[in-house]
Structure 1
Amino acid sequence: MAIDLKAVEQLATDQSSLKAAAGLAKPAKWSGVGSSPDGALIWGECAGSGANPYRVMADLRDLGNKCTCPSRKFPCKHVLGLLWLNAEAIVPFAPADTPAWVSDWLGRRRGTSAAKPASTAAPAGEKDVRAARAVEPEVVEDPKDAARREAQSAKRNEETERAILDALDALEQWIGDQLRMGLSGFIDDATARCRRIAARLVDGKAAVLAGRIDELPSRLLALAAGDRPSGAVVELGKLVLLARAFRATPRDAEIRRVVATTETRETVLADPQALRVNAQWEVLAEQVQTRRDGLVSQTTWLLNLAASGPRFAMLLDFFPASAGRRGSVFAPGERFQGELVFYPSQQPLRALLVRRDAAEAMLNSEWPAPDMALGEALTRPLLAEPWIVEIPLLLPRGRIARDDSGGTWWRAADGTATLPVAGNAEGLLAGTELMRTAAIWSGNRLAILAAQSPWGRIGGHD
């Protein structure tokens, strides 16, 4: 019986729970870890703030779980941490007799009908495994209970929305304070200041937005010193726009995705309105970034080689930094036929891979031409979502050039456009004509993912 990390991530109620679980996915935090002989049940004791550890247990077949901590979240961070340990095999889950506290939980969960009469009782370990395997009797739901649960759910949603709105009020006040005190002081102390407001947002259930603000100092420091004040103004302005957009439409799934929480994989796959695209794709590049919250983001950029559908797709995954580097299932330059389902958006980009087949031999070697002028490609996404940080672009024919001060630029072959490039483009990328270039525009710099030249494909770091 096994569970993967993606299933653990989907169980988490919010990003803050996932972050807390990553901190608990360490052997030193746990004792008494074990499993039933068939691996269906797992358990362990997690050190908490009190004298006694929390007792944590889970059934891997249906992911039922229990923890003795007082958290109101279900599952709590301790359950997620236990499942994380199992998914990544961080500690061995040795088969053992089921502890009495796990047996008690099973008895309450499955009902007394799952247990045998005392006269024919099996040994403790065997009895608990059989109890776990027992099929739960069909229960007819009481309409009053269903109505009560719906009312409780509506109340929780209302409380969550109010908490987010309060956190956004605090954010706008914080932004005003930074502007009043001066951008120079903000840039010098950005890490500490951003961390404080990010913690407030996490408490206010705006965990995704908190992660964005936590990464803001690194984005500013990546700019030249003279560009940082204007970069800070743009970043803070986008945060204000996002906060006000949430207030206007707090139930909008697209806005909630960048403020509070992302829909689960199952929700997106089950959405009949979600855009599905079956096309030929090329893997442009993979970006792996260790975040300040202890998670690693793994972003895979895909280029749609067909004539219709979104030109780019972004596959995004998270895993704990403590788990080490993950191997990728894609290779840059690889081509495949596959079906993707996109998260609902005015500008569909983030997607899930539903099916992946081998590439067909008849795939064209050249990338498609840009489907809009460069100016429109830079501005259209901002008209729909003015708070976005990155815009994928397919650039026309051009070259990489350097100015007298050593700055690197992409210049269109017809001389109509010039854009600054992040870092130093070297090797083949800087030494030949680029027929097509796929890049990410961050508002002030291009990060080149890959390009096509008369000599073939060139990676962004070649």
Structure 2
Amino acid sequence: MAIDLKAVEGLATDQPSLKAAAGLVKPGKWSGVGMSDDGALIWGECAGSGANPYRVMADLRDLGNKCTCPSRKFPCKHSLALLWLHAEAIVPFPTAETPDWVGDWLARRRAPSTKAAAPAAPKDLHAARSIDPEPVEDAKADAKREAAAVKRAGDTERAILDALGALEGWVGDQLRLGLGGFVDEVTTRCRRIGARLVDGKAAALAGHIDELPARLLALPPGDQVRGATVELARLVLLARACRATPNDPELRRAVATAENRETLLADPSAPRVSGVWEVLAERVHTRRDGLVSQTTWLLNLGGSPRFAMLLDFFPASVGRRGSVFTPGEQFPAELVFYPARSPLRALLLRREAALIDGPPLDWPAIDGPLAAALTDPLLAEPWATERPVLLPPGRVGFDRAGAAWWRQRDGDLCLPLAGDADGLIAGTDLTGAAALWSGSRIDLLATRTPWGRVDHG
């Protein structure tokens, strides 16, 4: 059963409770985490100030919850944190036999409230459920709900298509008015169309446009008009592709919203990859819509190069959240990827302890020419703002204007760097590099040198 962070926020009695819960959303604070066979119940034990951990449990069907802590707030910070862990899939909730203390709580909260003495609450969960009357099926009510769901889906589909049509018209207006003026007023103009997309249920695309001014203004002044041309072209390509195939899950994800965890796990076309992964980098960015995006880039160390992007969002109001990853660590894990032309975004299903024996594993060898690695992903997904790429040995240097470039050691390929190249990276022989390629610049995530790894967070 799926819940999201908004549902957890709605349960909090006040902002301090939510902030306190954020401090407990760390895997190291929890033990004995589990889930019932039907996915309705979750539980765990949270370390507190006493010798014994607090026992926390919740029913996802109605978000009822219970904790053994003495807090007078309901729900307490421990219950909020447990629901948060599940909503954001921060730790896996393996299916397990329901503990007696969870079954006792469920029996008590569902016992019939009559004047006659109620039977003793059985400790077995299945016995506890047997005291509930069998639900009476209402065929008419089910039909009404199904019809309402179909109507909502149709209304959403029409709203998205109308919003995409408005976006194409807006892009045409920017071209007619001139890209020089667009660059000068990019924040105001993007805010207007972003609001229109939000009204049209195209929330993901609206978030992308909200970040467009920052991407554009980060370019050197001489490149901003060219950058505006590329950004607007990507928007048109995405809008037309989505209008042509509105049910394509990858396009839907880029425009509206991504599938929830349960939907993804139930999708037989979702690739699952097990292997040893290295944490390349973690990027945390506060967005204009009040959310914080936390992006973790992983590299599979077995076989051909394969990247994975773990993407998480949480409200900026809860403050900075700790990470469960350390750049450079290597660990065995199983990931499930969202279906796509070139699968990249993934969820972490199972993670084992980090590797501690022996030297770190090497990065995989690069397959094929570098030019193909740079162009093929963007040709397959031309609306993408950036794609990860593994670079061969090279060196970072500077041109006469002081701009930083990466140059291939065995070849003539040179790529401009986004941002500055400070410290040891300048002029150093690089045995390998992982970077994000936007089609015009590379943003280094991590590099390897003869004396070790260098992070570029």
TM range (shorter): 0.7 to 0.9
Q: SS of the residue aligned with 2:4?
A: helix
Q: Deviations over 1:71-94 (max 9, x none)?
A: xxxxxxxxxxx99997369xxxxx
Indicate yes or no: 2:234 matched with 1:238.
yes
The equivalent residue for 1:211 is 207
Q: Contact conserved, 2:17 with 2:77, CA < 8 A, in 1?
A: no
Q: Contact conserved, 1:396 with 1:435, CA < 8 A, in 2?
A: yes
Indicate yes or no: 2:338 matched with 1:343.
yes
In the alignment of these two chains, the number of paired residues is: 374
Distance between the aligned counterparts of 1:442 and 1:142, measured in 2?
A: 54
Distance between the aligned counterparts of 2:14 and 2:251, measured in 1?
A: 30
Structure 1 residues 214, 83: CA separation in 2 closer, same or farther (over 3 Å shift)? Answer: farther
RMSD: 3.2
The equivalent residue for 2:46 is none
For structure 1, which runs of at least 5 residues remain unmatched after alignment?
A: 13-17, 30-39, 41-58, 67-81, 90-109, 122-131
The equivalent residue for 1:449 is 445
Residue among 316, 331, 351 paired with 1:321: 316
Structure 1 residues 134, 170: CA separation in 2 closer, same or farther (over 3 Å shift)? Answer: farther
Q: Contact conserved, 1:340 with 1:354, CA < 8 A, in 2?
A: yes
Structure 1 residues 222, 136: CA separation in 2 closer, same or farther (over 3 Å shift)? Answer: farther
Distance between the aligned counterparts of 1:288 and 1:118, measured in 2?
A: 56
> Which letter does structure 2 place at the counterpart of 1:178?
Q
Distance between the aligned counterparts of 2:160 and 2:16, measured in 1?
A: 34
The equivalent residue for 2:60 is 62
The equivalent residue for 1:78 is none
Determine what percentage of the aligned residue pairs are the same residue: 59
Moved more, 440-449 or 292-301: 440-449
Structure 1 residues 86, 136: CA separation in 2 closer, same or farther (over 3 Å shift)? Answer: same
The equivalent residue for 1:440 is 436
Deviation (angstroms), 1:195? 0.9
Q: Deviations over 1:23-77 (max 9, x none)?
A: x974699xxxxxxxxxx9xxxxxxxxxxxxxxxxxx94125279xxxxxxxxxxx
Deviation (angstroms), 1:398? 0.3
The equivalent residue for 2:24 is none
Indicate yes or no: 2:350 matched with 1:355.
yes
Distance between the aligned counterparts of 1:392 and 1:301, measured in 2?
A: 9
Distance between the aligned counterparts of 1:84 and 1:240, measured in 2?
A: 45
The equivalent residue for 2:325 is 330
The equivalent residue for 1:291 is 287
The equivalent residue for 2:80 is 87
Structure 1 residues 259, 406: CA separation in 2 closer, same or farther (over 3 Å shift)? Answer: same
Q: SS of the residue aligned with 1:160?
A: helix
- TM-score by structure 1 length? 0.74
Q: Contact conserved, 1:338 with 1:353, CA < 8 A, in 2?
A: yes
Deviation (angstroms), 1:357? 1.0
Indicate yes or no: 2:248 matched with 1:249.
no
Q: Contact conserved, 1:25 with 1:84, CA < 8 A, in 2?
A: no
Indicate yes or no: 2:180 matched with 1:184.
yes
Distance between the aligned counterparts of 2:233 and 2:150, measured in 1?
A: 32
Q: SS of the residue aligned with 2:433?
A: strand
Q: SS of the residue aligned with 1:64?
A: coil
Q: Contact conserved, 1:338 with 1:357, CA < 8 A, in 2?
A: yes
The equivalent residue for 1:97 is none
Q: Deviations over 1:394-438 (max 9, x none)?
A: 001100010111000000002321000011112222242111100
Q: Contact conserved, 1:88 with 1:323, CA < 8 A, in 2?
A: no
Distance between the aligned counterparts of 2:258 and 2:191, measured in 1?
A: 22
Q: Contact conserved, 2:298 with 2:308, CA < 8 A, in 1?
A: yes
Distance between the aligned counterparts of 1:254 and 1:395, measured in 2?
A: 27
Indicate yes or no: 2:381 matched with 1:385.
yes
Distance between the aligned counterparts of 1:184 and 1:354, measured in 2?
A: 47
The equivalent residue for 1:75 is none
The 5 Å alignment of 1:123-142 reads 136-142=132-138
The equivalent residue for 1:96 is none
Structure 1 residues 305, 404: CA separation in 2 closer, same or farther (over 3 Å shift)? Answer: same
Distance between the aligned counterparts of 2:425 and 2:130, measured in 1?
A: 62
Structure 1 residues 166, 65: CA separation in 2 closer, same or farther (over 3 Å shift)? Answer: farther
Distance between the aligned counterparts of 2:431 and 2:185, measured in 1?
A: 43
The 5 Å alignment of 1:260-275 reads 260-275=256-271
Structure 1 residues 264, 25: CA separation in 2 closer, same or farther (over 3 Å shift)? Answer: farther
The 5 Å alignment of 1:149-160 reads 149-160=145-156
> Which letter does structure 1 place at the counterpart of 2:60?
D
Residue among 408, 411, 419 paired with 2:407: 411
> Which letter does structure 2 place at the counterpart of 1:324?
G
Deviation (angstroms), 1:8? 2.6
Deviation (angstroms), 1:150? 2.4
Deviation (angstroms), 1:372? 2.9
Q: SS of the residue aligned with 2:280?
A: strand
Distance between the aligned counterparts of 1:440 and 1:325, measured in 2?
A: 24
Deviation (angstroms), 1:444? 2.1
Q: Deviations over 1:306-357 (max 9, x none)?
A: 005x610000000111111111100010000110000111101000111111
Structure 1 residues 444, 64: CA separation in 2 closer, same or farther (over 3 Å shift)? Answer: same
Indicate yes or no: 2:195 matched with 1:199.
yes
Q: Deviations over 1:219-240 (max 9, x none)?
A: 0010001100110111011101
Distance between the aligned counterparts of 2:76 and 2:164, measured in 1?
A: 32
Moved more, 299-308 or 147-156: 147-156
- TM-score by structure 2 length? 0.75
Q: SS of the residue aligned with 1:382?
A: helix
Q: Contact conserved, 1:8 with 1:84, CA < 8 A, in 2?
A: no
Distance between the aligned counterparts of 1:249 and 1:25, measured in 2?
A: 43
Structure 1 residues 327, 185: CA separation in 2 closer, same or farther (over 3 Å shift)? Answer: same
Structure 1 residues 135, 60: CA separation in 2 closer, same or farther (over 3 Å shift)? Answer: farther
Q: Contact conserved, 1:397 with 1:412, CA < 8 A, in 2?
A: yes
Deviation (angstroms), 1:454? 1.0
Distance between the aligned counterparts of 1:25 and 1:401, measured in 2?
A: 52
